Amino acid sequence: MYKIVRKRELTTNIYLMDVEAARAAKACQPGQFVIVRMDREGERIPLTICDYDREKGLVTIVFQCVGAATHKMAELEEGEGFHDFVGPLGCPSELVNEAPEELGKKKILFVAGGVGAAPVYPQVKWLHERGVKADVIVGSKTKDLLILEKEMEAVAGNLYITTDDGSYGRSGMVTQTIKDLVAEGKTYDLCIAIGPMIMMKFVCLLTKELGIPTVVSLNPIMVDGTGMCGACRVTVDGKVKFACVDGPEFDGHKVNFDEAMRRQLIYKTEEGRAMLRLQEGDTHHGGCGNCRD
């Protein structure tokens, strides 16, 4: 059993848990994810690694209750645990492959939408620990749904909070804050955007117009997490990729967001999944071996 040593409700239906998982904590890097399962017959749930403590063997996960499995997971208490806790999975952020002195020369902007603050945080923290400051925009629908503000404030170079309804921080979408910062004279060499698909799409449309290279994380579309189910299939630069095994990070300016969002809707029904299997044939499953370059 992988014991839950801390549980905290960040806001309505969004929870944080510290889990004893020494192997995952020892090996994980920012940008990767784990798969948890509550019991032998339980659903496999891919979750981004929000934080980790290698010395204590702890991995921090953040999840939102959106279905039966995650609601059941929210009922787990400290002292209880998961039957399976598999990871780290996926490719680490490309930032971890760059020398700190080179990263220090770059002006980096992170854009987090909603629960996307969870996967953004470990990357900003990783940079902070190496003396690299990054600007961070965290967007939320309302103040009540904002998460990890204090944690992000401790590691960000500059933190900008924006709410759709103007109840806290700046008013409006994250894209408006990007426009405002550029209008104020800010320049960026790289943008990393993580959040709802529609948010990432419009961030990428804007940053392409502004000439800012942009990386997105497509963890929101993962279901199985191993490349076998075909749920996270996405077209990047005209090629078939799978977020769970090829990503989850990709060049946002090359992602076909409209196709990905359309597949998300279709995939929700059994009939839709059957239609996708028929249409996509051997390339439907990431684990088939026919989808790589």
Distance in angstroms (rounded) separating the CA atoms of residues 181 and 159 = 12
Q: Which residues of 193-212 are buried (b: 16+ CB within 10 A; e: fewer)?
A: bbbebebbbbbbebbeeeeb
CATH 3.40.50.300 fits 2-89, yes or no: no
Q: What is the CATH number of domain 98-217?
A: 3.40.50.80
Helix axes 197-210, 257-267, angle to 10 degrees: 180
- How far CA 120 is from CA of 30, 40, 240, 262, in Å, comes to 9, 31, 25, 25
**Which residue in the block uniquely carries the two structure tokens 């190496």?**
130
pLDDT of residue 46: 86
Distance in angstroms (rounded) separating the CA atoms of residues 126 and 207 = 24
Which residues make up the CATH 3.40.50.80 domain(s) of the chain?
98-217
Which residues make up the CATH 2.40.30.10 domain(s) of the chain?
2-89
pLDDT of residue 289: 42
Q: Is the dihedral of CA 237, 240, 241, 242 positive or negative?
A: positive
Distance in angstroms (rounded) separating the CA atoms of residues 280 and 115 = 31
* CB of 132 closer than 8 Å to CB of 214: no
Average pLDDT by consecutive 10-residue portion of the chain (293 residues)? Answer: 94 93 94 89 86 96 88 92 91 88 92 93 95 95 92 96 92 94 96 94 97 89 63 86 86 92 63 50 50 43
Which token pair is 40? Answer: 């032998």
* CB of 134 closer than 8 Å to CB of 255: no
pLDDT of residue 92: 92
Q: Which H or E run includes 243?
A: helix 243-246
